[in-house]
Homo-oligomer: A and B are copies of this chain.
Amino acid sequence: MPSRFMLANAIRALSMDAVQKANSGHPGAPMGMADIAEVLWNDHLKHNPANPTWQDRDRFVLSNGHGSMLLYSLLHLTGYDLTTDDLKQFRQLHSRTPGHPELGYTPGVETTTGPLGQGLANAVGMAIAERTLASQYNRPDHTIVDHRTWCFVGDGCLMEGISHEACSLAGTLGLGKLTVIYDDNGISIDGDVKGWFTDDTAKRFEAYGWHVAADVDGHDPAQIDQAIELAKRQDDRPSLIICKTVIGFGAPNKQGTEATHGAALGDDEVAAARERLDWPHPAFHVPDDIYAGWNAIDKGSQREADWQARFARYSETFPSEARELQRRWNGELPGDLDGAQVIEQAQRACESLASRKASLQTLNRLAPRLPELLGGSADLAPSNLTFWDGAEAISPTSPAGNYLHYGVREFAMGAIMNGISMHGGFIPYGATFLTFMEYMHNAVRMAALAKRQVVFVYTHDSIGLGEDGPTHQPVEQLNALRVTPNLATWRPCDATETAAAWLAALKRQDGPTALVLSRQTLAGQRRSTEQVAHIERGGYVLRDCQDFPDLILIATGSEVQLAMQSADALAAKGRRVRVVSMPCTAMFDQQDVDYRESVLPSHIRKRIAIEAAHADYWHKYVGLDGRVIGMTGYGESAPAPDLFKHFGFTVERVVAQAEALLD
């Protein structure tokens, strides 16, 4: 049996070889964390390389995602479907080994990491998901959900603010099965961190209520193992293991310096490292005894088989729970969820109410059948209206709940939701004011990039929030959301569209949805059955005229009622006006050309888009000949009606613009 050091050296060698071949990448972290990874993966991690999606596997997150070759090496060595040829394609187009770990590209990669700190928050989300799912489904003598979450972090992750948000909340929630291992190598890109990072990290995490193992030698397997064992015994608090390491360990001339962080070591240094590490094998070559020392297929398959047997017994004793759990794992909505009926119900009532209230109404109608919904808000529950009648807060003493009080932690909320979604078994939704989307912006992007079903609820969606003023009034955020690839952004105009938007979010499994909702009351709109059915297409004719229209008004959300009133006023003057409600441009753009032409015929160039948000976006639909009634500057502090008037969202202005365009 090879030594632990030699097993770890396989990671070092593969990592420096792959980076060298690509002439691009980050050898420092994999070489520095190789010993830690070896102990964790060989002696503690519960996984089955033959089935990377086994539901009860431990989750492993490399939050310092630039060290991707560490993870790829581990997956390759332990027996995942990742070959030496894959490693040789590191950082090449269409390879399974991209520069940073990308969910969906590589078997065994649990989350997309690279943007620092977010992997850590994903891990917190996975640990929440595990504990809540376990609390909901485990039964005495039937422990079906029982796995740990492990997360590697670097200095960068711990400097990022999101580490505070996520770890503070993890401490409050007492996530005993979460273990974070900190690669305390004292080096970041600018050099020795002493000039900019002097936290007493152990003390900081103790202040969050964590168990901390400080001063562990990250190159001593016995110390690492002991610290992990101790962490596993913490039932009611998360653990941080602080490992002192040498970045680029083994590269004799560069180790311990930022020179190993983000560039190939160079042929000479790679050769020198081979000598230092007593690793005489050619590039990418791993001897059989080393492979044998790493191979986890048999052990992993046996573990999964044991679990499958247990799950079979559980299914016999608790058939409905087992079916429901399986359904949740599969990401299937319940068969008896009658979404169309909920939309129709809203249309029949045709109430005038704020879309945030319509959202709560929809939740109250749908959520009782959806135990997979895991809601929350960043300390704005009474404003976002996300705490529905059946919501129950998750806490250390009631982990089986379905609602998280995230605290004033928007960014962590986003990344934790992503982690919950990645874990599986849940559809997370979380809310804040639309403006503060900016606090969590990159987590929204990561949800979209990683194709996660996450629902971002954004209320107080325009100057219509009134007196809180420009710091709180969104202007440009809707545009930012709409140009985020693979994000579906809905801004419904009334209760019916709000229900339809929620249904679209629940059905959309391959990406996130943003629901953009008003603080203020919106008029209910009348619709035919066909119009109701067209909402899900993202844009449709809400009001039409005889023959072809002279003018098309396009609007969303709170401005649809303005467009409708303006169309009435123009019709009274003999104008032929169509109103298009466009709650989700992304969905509309996906419709076939015939449908899009039926809504916005190419030859009708007299178009006015109306939205109390930045005007620029709408040129896409109105072109150079149309007009946009929107915002171009910031809002003001005043009652909402004063603001709509001040910024020109009035029937008079729409009519005037329309007539100027028509004449």
Contacts and interface: CB of A to CB of B under 8 A. Distances in A.
Interface stretch (A130-138, A141-149, A167-175, A281-289): A167-175
Contacts of A483: 475-476, 479-480, 614, 616-617
Interface stretch (A9-17, A154-162, A532-540, A551-559): A154-162
Contacts of A156: 379, 408
Interface string A401-445: 000011111011000000000000000000000011011011001
A229 interface: no
Interface string A149-189: 00000011101111111001101100000000000000011
Given A22-B467, A479-B480, A480-B483, 6 more contacts: A113-B471, A161-B161, A171-B198, A190-B405, A204-B204, A486-B634
Contact of A196 (B25, B407, B605): B407
Interface in A632-653: 632-634, 636-639, 642-643, 646
Interface string A391-405: 001010000000001
A602 B625 CA distance: 10
B439 A115 contact: yes
Interface residues of A, number: 113
Contacts of A633: 485-486
Contacts of A380: 189-190
A209 B199 CA distance: 7
B196 A207 contact: no
Nearest to A173: B196
How many copies are assembled? Answer: 2
A218 interface: no
A24 interface: yes
A484 B411 CA distance: 20
A412 B449 contact: no
A375 interface: no
B467 A638 contact: no
Nearest to A261: B382
Contacts of A318: none
Contact of A159 (B189, B408, B624, B642): B408
A85 interface: no
A497 interface: no
Contacts of A446: 471
A193 B169 CA distance: 11
Residue among A24, A161, A204 with max Cβ neighbours from chain B (10 Å): A161
A111 to B, nearest CB: 11
Given A172-B198, A408-B188, A624-B605, A636 B98 contact: yes
Given A196-B172, A382-B189, A471 B112 contact: yes
Given A206-B203, A476-B480, A65 B471 contact: yes
A619 interface: yes
A58 to B, nearest CB: 24
A197 B100 contact: no
Interface stretch (A28-36, A86-94, A291-299, A327-335): A86-94
B472 A100 contact: yes
A484 B474 CA distance: 10
Given A100-B637, A161-B163, A24 B190 contact: no
A470 interface: yes
A195 interface: yes
A383 interface: yes
Contacts of A161: 160-165, 409, 411-412
Contacts of A95: 637
A619 B476 CA distance: 17
A101 B476 CA distance: 21
B115 A471 contact: yes
Nearest to A91: B467
B160 A165 contact: yes
A377 B114 CA distance: 18
A275 interface: no
A387 to B, nearest CB: 8
B190 A381 contact: yes
A83 to B, nearest CB: 18
A41 interface: no
Contacts of A189: 379-383
Given A115-B439, A195-B393, A197-B172, A408 B155 contact: yes
Contact of A93 (B92, B116, B207, B646): B646
A60 to B, nearest CB: 18
Interface string A336-368: 000000000000000000000000000000000
Contacts of A412: 161
B91 A405 contact: no
B485 A476 contact: yes
Contacts of A91: 467, 469, 637-639
A480 B477 CA distance: 8
A38 interface: no
Contact of A642 (B93, B200, B435, B484): B93
Contact of A114 (B115, B411, B469, B605): B469
A482 interface: yes
A234 interface: no
Contacts of A467: 22, 24-25, 91, 99
14 contacts: A91-B639, A102-B471, A156-B408, A161-B412, A163-B164, A172-B196, A188-B379, A190-B407, A195-B395, A203-B207, A445-B476, A449-B470, A619-B619, A624-B624
A208 interface: yes
A207 B197 contact: no
A422 to B, nearest CB: 15
A142 to B, nearest CB: 30
A621 to B, nearest CB: 8
Residue among A102, A201, A407, A472 with max Cβ neighbours from chain B (10 Å): A407
Contact of A405 (B160, B196, B209): B196
A390 interface: no
Nearest to A121: B161
Contacts of A267: none
A157 B408 CA distance: 8
